[in-house]
């Protein structure tokens, strides 16, 4: 705008068309406009400019914007979570809940099906000597040795160099975040990550590669195996995902620094069966103790599931409840202490 003779402040005209003047200023502008054709022209030009700019249509977001952003956010989270000391806390709660479940369920089933037998309900007297020469004890021990797959948590960790884990989950993103939380809290670094996205922008498969010491792998693996085969509702999530997890582990030998490759994927995994209970659906692809219990229980009903767990645990619970509770205590204590010891 050139060659204006009038020196009335133009920014007042500009603010006038925006409705950003108070009453007094507005009256002043109007009074001036009444007597100044040049300023009426200036006002008109400002209006034109503003209208022209306002007419600009909005640009649409690039189609892959959300997907890229989500991948970057996950990376960022992995970086940030390295220093988070309490990320294992939910896992500790789950383990405690699992143990509580194993204790309470058979006892309540016992009450339902066998009545309040004082012998069963207060099994302290029988169980003071855990090494009692009961034939049941040795039978149970043999059975457990057979049932325990050698590649799972029982495998000596120092024998592993590369560890692979495939976890089938319904909410891949939720579990990816969870795993990043858990592993980075153990001091692991996410070395590689690979994401596969569905057409709707949801995360279909995530592969995370960590580098850890043997002890860290052991800790993480045990947590995951504990969590496996059970329905989990994560307390810290916006929408708690029903996590249906199955795990298989493959080992390699000779190294203390271990590369752990975890793949989380949605959809059914070949060779696995899906079991429906009134409470949850469970995937199980191996003959782990939990999978066996679930499968046996599901031949009839959820109630029989409880009864079955009762029967199978009764051998142990009836004779060595002290060991059972002691194990639970040790596990919880270990978790608490290992949390407290960690720096930060």
**Cα dihedral sign for 123, 129, 133, 135?**
positive
Please, what is the minimum distance in Å from the beta carbon of residue 300 to another protein? 39
Question: In whole angstroms, what is the distance from residue 307 CA to residue 331 CA?
Answer: 26
Of 18, 142, 194, 252, the residue at the interface with another protein (CB under 8 A) is 18
Of 41, 72, 252, 300, the residue at the interface with another protein (CB under 8 A) is 72
Chain Cα centroid distance, residue 171 = 8
Task: Give the Cα-Cα-Cα angle 259, 289, 291 (nearest 5 degrees).
Answer: 85
DSSP-assigned states of every residue in 13-48: HHHHHTT-S-HHHHHHHHHHHHH-HHHHHHHHHHHH
Please list every residue from 40 through 59 that binds another protein, using CB under 8 A.
Answer: 45-59
Answer for the pair 175, 243: CB distance below 8 angstroms, yes or no.
Answer: yes
Please list every residue from 259 through 288 that binds another protein, using CB under 8 A.
Answer: none
Please list every residue from 114 through 173 that binds another protein, using CB under 8 A.
Answer: 173
Interface region with another protein, contact rule CB under 8 A, candidates 60-68, 91-99, 262-270, 271-279: 60-68
Please, what is the minimum distance in Å from the beta carbon of residue 168 to another protein? 20
Helices (H) and strands (E) in the chain, counts: 12, 7
Which is closer to another protein, CB of 50 or CB of 233? 50
150 is written with which tokens? 């050698």
- Using rule CB under 8 A, residue 93 touches another protein: no
Minimal CA–CA distance to 332: which of 91, 156, 148?
Answer: 91
- Using rule CB under 8 A, residue 69 touches another protein: yes
Which is closer to another protein, CB of 187 or CB of 251? 187
- Residues lying near another protein in the complex (CB under 8 A) are found at 1-2, 10-11, 13-20, 45-62, 65-66, 68-70, 72-74, 76-77, 80-81, 173-174, 177, 236-239
């Amino acid at each position: 705008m050139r060659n204006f003779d009038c020196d009335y402040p133009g920014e007042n005209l500009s603010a006038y068309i925006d409705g950003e003047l108070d009453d007094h200023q507005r009256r002043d502008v109007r009074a001036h406009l009444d007597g100044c054709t040049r300023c009426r022209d200036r006002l008109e030009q400002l209006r034109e400019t503003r209208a022209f700019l306002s007419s600009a249509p909005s640009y649409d977001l690039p189609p892959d914007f959300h997907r890229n952003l989500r991948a970057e956010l996950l990376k960022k989270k992995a970086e940030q979570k390295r220093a988070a000391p309490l990320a294992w806390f939910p896992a500790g709660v789950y383990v405690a809940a699992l143990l509580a479940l194993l204790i309470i369920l058979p006892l309540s089933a016992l009450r339902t099906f066998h009545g309040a037998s004082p012998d069963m309900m207060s099994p302290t007297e029988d169980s003071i000597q855990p090494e009692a020469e009961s034939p049941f004890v040795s039978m149970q021990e043999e059975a457990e040795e057979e049932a325990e797959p050698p590649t799972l948590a029982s495998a000596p960790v120092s024998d592993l160099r590369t560890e692979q884990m495939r976890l089938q989950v319904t909410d891949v993103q939720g579990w990816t975040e969870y795993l990043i939380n858990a592993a980075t809290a153990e001091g692991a670094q996410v070395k590689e990550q690979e994401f596969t996205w569905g057409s709707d922008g949801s995360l279909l498969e995530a592969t995370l590669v960590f580098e850890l010491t043997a002890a860290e792998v052991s800790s993480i693996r045990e947590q995951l195996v504990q969590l496996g085969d059970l329905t989990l509702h994560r307390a810290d999530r916006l929408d708690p995902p029903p996590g249906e997890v199955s795990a298989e582990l493959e080992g390699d030998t000779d190294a203390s620094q271990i590369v752990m490759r975890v793949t989380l994927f949605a959809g059914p995994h070949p060779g696995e069966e899906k079991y429906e209970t009134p409470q949850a659906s469970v995937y199980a692809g191996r003959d782990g103790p939990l999978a066996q219990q679930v499968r046996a229980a599901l031949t009839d009903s959820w109630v029989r599931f409880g009864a079955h767990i009762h029967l199978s645990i009764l051998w142990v619970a009836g004779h060595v409840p002290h060991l059972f509770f002691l194990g639970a205590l040790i596990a919880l204590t270990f978790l608490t202490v290992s949390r407290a010891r960690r720096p930060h």
